[in-house]
Amino acid sequence: MFESVANIIRKNAIGVILTGMGADGADGLMMMKQQGAKTVGQDRESSTIYGMPKMAYDRGAIDYQLPLNQIANKIMSLV
């Protein structure tokens, strides 16, 4: 999904990655960031499983790393 957004919508998008495992979301989020989208990732403390948000953060794909309860407000401020 992130890859499709990166290829079509580009900089007019916001990518959000939440708790989960694997790296596919991190790869897609990086593609979005490279196309100019703003990106948000859930922080370690509020994640049930910090795997995918950590991969995205470690790769530099996250502009804003926040607790879950602050992500909606960040999205609203970016819109």
- What gap in Å lies between CA 30 and CA 11, rounded to an integer? 12
The fold adopted by the segment(s) 2-78 is Rossmann fold (3.40.50)
pLDDT per residue as tens digits for the range 30-78:
999 999 999 999 999 999 999 999 999 999 999 999 999 999 999 999 9
Task: Describe the crossing of helices 24-34 and 51-58 by its angle, rounded to 10 degrees.
Answer: 40
pLDDT of residue 10 exceeding 80: no
pLDDT digit string, tens, across residues 21-31: 888 889 999 99
Alpha helices in the chain (DSSP H): 2-8, 24-34, 51-58, 68-78
- Model confidence pTM above 0.85: yes
Is 57 in contact with 65 (CB distance < 8 Å)? Answer: yes
Neighbour-count burial for 35-70, b at 16+ CB within 10 Å, e otherwise: bebbbbbbbeebbeebbbbbbbbeeebbbbbbeeee
